[in-house]
Each structure stands twice: as C-alpha cells, then as structure tokens.
Amino acid sequence: MLIRKPTVADGPALTRLLGDAWNAAYPNAGLGISPELIAAFTAAYAQRNSKPDANELFAKMIVDPNRVYLVAEIDNKPVGFINAIRKSPKHNDAEIVSLYVDPHYFSRGIGYALLTAAFKKLGATNVHLTVASYNERAVTFYERNGFRKIPNSDHLYQISAAPTADSTQPSLMVGKNAIPVFNMIHLSTAIIS
C-alpha cells in the first residue's frame, strides 16, 4: 500500500470512493435513512464534483498548507483517503474532515495507515471529528485509535440530495431524515500506537 498526496486527477476516483463508502455506512431503516436517499445524495455530490469549479476547489484544497489530504493506493488504485485540517495552529487543534475506505478494502489496515500518516503530518495535540453514532464500524475504529466521545455533543444532520439556497452542494442540515452524530476527540501528543 502506498500513502501519497492526491492529484487533481484523483478527484473522480475519490468521489466514487466516497459514494461507495457512504452507501455502505449510512443507510439505516430504523432512522428512515434509505439506501435510495443515500444514493441520491451521493449522486448529487458526484454531479456537483464533476463541474470545472469543483476541480479548481479540489486543486486548492490539496495544496492548502493547513490541510492534510492523503490517498491510500493499492495496485495504482485509490482505496481510501483522509482529509484533515489544522483548525487552530496556535492552539494545536485539528479536525478530521473525512476518512473513507473503499468497502471492498475494509479491515486491511488502510484507515489506520491513513490516520497515522495524517497525525504525523498534522502534529496536533487535539484532533476532533464527527461520526454517525450508529456507524459502529467507524465508532469502534476511532475508539480503538484513541478517540473518545465528547460528552453532550450529540446532534443531528439532515441529508438532502437538493442543494441549499446558499450552496450548490448537496446539503447536510439539521432536520427530518437526520443522521444522529456525535463529536469525538483525540487528546494526545503521541502518535497513534
């Protein structure tokens, strides 16, 4: 496995990978989050990311000095990625914005390799993230790697395939058809062991 910085050419593959990961992780019949809703959301996201200005934004993101964006590759194929940002370099805080692994490559150490590489590059003491509370695979992964739930951080994100009034992106907003999430934090100066 190779961990590397992404290129603009990786954009379409990473968008597909994100869609596959969302389709594997987020449908939940008990919460009314159907596979069709997730598929519509990821299709809208992919459509939005196919536009030229999306490539420009991605190109800026991958060279942003406050951002750590890494791709895991096996046999010249992206199989996972992590996107993290230094929220407050002065206070040594960072946030894992996204960490996704192709579901066909689950349980092969790819998420751990990406997380470890990102921690080394971030150099942050406090690393935050948000995770769907019912995504047991992700919650277990993060707990195993030193993250703990932040008390009283539970909240809801509504998913919608339609763009909001102030954005052309599919939306994640509070409301009906909501994904229950909570925040987690890793409080350590040590690299994940």
Q: Block means of pLDDT (10 residues each) for the chain, length 193 residues?
A: 95 89 84 79 76 78 92 97 84 85 96 93 83 86 86 58 43 46 55 44
Element (H, E) at 149: strand 148-149
In a domain, 126, yes or no: yes
In a domain, 193, yes or no: no
Report the CATH number at residue 49: 3.40.630.30
Domain that holds residue 13: 2-187
Structure-token pair, residue 73: 């590759």
Q: What is the pLDDT of residue 171?
A: 41
In a domain, 34, yes or no: yes
Gap between the Cα atoms of 101 and 80, Å rounded: 4
In a domain, 192, yes or no: no
Q: What is the pLDDT of residue 58?
A: 84
Q: What is the pLDDT of residue 47?
A: 77
Q: Indicate the pTM of the whole model.
A: 0.81
Q: What is the pLDDT of residue 187?
A: 53
- Nearest Cα to Cα of residue 174 among 160, 161, 162: 160
Cα separations in angstroms, 180 against 3, 156, 162: 31, 5, 20
Q: How many domains does the chain have?
A: 1
